[in-house]
Amino acid sequence: MYIEDIGESGLIERISNLVGVKNRDIVVSIGDDAAVVRTSSDYYTLFTTDFLIEGVHFDLSTISAYQLGRKSMLVNISDIAAMSGMPTYALVSLGIKPKTKVEFIEELYKGMLDISKEYDFAIVGGDTVTSPHSLSVNICMIGKVEPNFLRKRSDAKIGDKILVTGELGASAAGLFLLNSKIKMDDILVKSHFEPVPRLKEARVSAECGAHAIEDISDGLASEIFHICDASGVGAFIYHDSLPIAKRVRDVAEVAGKSAEDFALYGGEDYEIVLTVAPERVEELINRVQSETGTIVSLVGEIVDEEKGIFILTKDGIKKSITKGYDHFEKGVL
């Protein structure tokens, strides 16, 4: 049996089953955005890692070394945000191709370092090796969170409303523009290269009683599946409430695609999706907006598991939802 037959989620499930063992200091193991362990009485320690490979996750003809350095850190910070934590340290593993210029690696590091200053964490180590075919960047990020602020994907409750920060689909639209080489909207291309992790938004949401929090790395649909699976619930997504910028709709039209599909199935928006009890929705939306300037939209509700996971349109039509991007499934490789 090949990995493409079971997909990334199938592989992770098998690995989780193999690993299985827990000790009492492990609060969250494989299967959330970050692992959580007890290290001191004041804080849990968070661990997350993201592996970016040339030709799969980035293309050096379109992204600069500096931008790649920034992005490789930002995607990890987004995982820390999803636990409503703060980044503290990072380790950088680089697989470097022969005939790489020193200046290229220095630019990559400058991007990483600028992010470490902006988000107040330190790069403390790593490994540099030769990689014959592709530049490979693996970041391991360590973070911390006070126990009462930790938010897991298994925390969603039936009756919760589903909210998302910012707007969706911008990164997917930017990637479409890049690939199609249509010169149309630099802001979208920038949002593909420079995601903004929602650290503070997640923290304020946690303060306002958010239950489950996830960062949207593989499209909203995929994250909703994760939350439902981990929490044992179902979900309805309000098709016509998805926050989509006009510029994304314009690109979708040119692309002959649905803007909602960009939002649901396009990866790398790095917004957060969260669930919260109905009576706290208004407070949460207002506080996040006033404290961070980021809009928050109500896009769905958590329902009984047996009701499934569906999209509801304004005409009351229920559409089934697919799981979204899978790195390993056939046709994706």
C-beta of 327: minimal distance to a copy of itself in Å? 5
- Residue 255 as a binder of a copy of itself (CB under 8 A): the answer is no
Which residues in the 45-84 window bind a copy of itself by CB under 8 A? 45, 47-53, 55-57
C-beta of 83: minimal distance to a copy of itself in Å? 12
Residues ≥6 apart with Cβ < 8 Å to 147: 43, 44
C-beta of 89: minimal distance to a copy of itself in Å? 6
Buried b (16+ CB within 10 A) or exposed e, 59-90: eeeebebbbbbbbbbbbbbbbbbbbbbbbbbb
- Residue 277 as a binder of a copy of itself (CB under 8 A): the answer is no
- Of the ranges 5-13, 150-158, 164-172, 315-323, which one interacts with a copy of itself (CB under 8 A)? 5-13
Of 15 and 317, nearer to a copy of itself (C-beta) is 15
C-beta of 115: minimal distance to a copy of itself in Å? 13
The dihedral over CA atoms of 90, 95, 100, 102, expressed in degrees to the nearest 10, equals 30
Computed on alpha carbons and rounded to an integer, the radius of gyration of the chain in Å comes to 19
C-beta of 32: minimal distance to a copy of itself in Å? 8
- Residue 4 as a binder of a copy of itself (CB under 8 A): the answer is yes
Q: How many other CB atoms are found less than 10 A from the CB of residue 293?
A: 9
C-beta of 112: minimal distance to a copy of itself in Å? 9
Which residues in the 88-147 window bind a copy of itself by CB under 8 A? 88-89, 91, 93-96, 98-103, 105-106, 109-110, 113, 116-117, 122-134, 136, 138, 140, 142
- Residue 310 as a binder of a copy of itself (CB under 8 A): the answer is no
Write down how long the chain is.
Answer: 333
Going by C-alpha positions, the residue among 48, 50, 135 that lies closest to residue 94 is 135
Q: Please report which helix (H) or strand (E) contains residue 164, including its range.
A: strand 161-165
Sole binder of a copy of itself in the list 8, 218, 260, 301 (CB under 8 A) = 8
Of 103 and 315, nearer to a copy of itself (C-beta) is 103
What does 12-29 look like in DSSP terms, one character per residue?
Answer: HHHHHHHH----TTEEE-
String marking each residue 12-51 x if it binds a copy of itself according to CB under 8 A: x-xx--xx-xxx--x--xx---xx-x-xx----x-xxxxx
C-beta of 95: minimal distance to a copy of itself in Å? 6
Which residues in the 208-237 window bind a copy of itself by CB under 8 A? none
| 8 A C-beta contact, residue 74 and residue 196 | yes
| 8 A C-beta contact, residue 227 and residue 275 | yes
The residue with tokens 């939350």 is 227
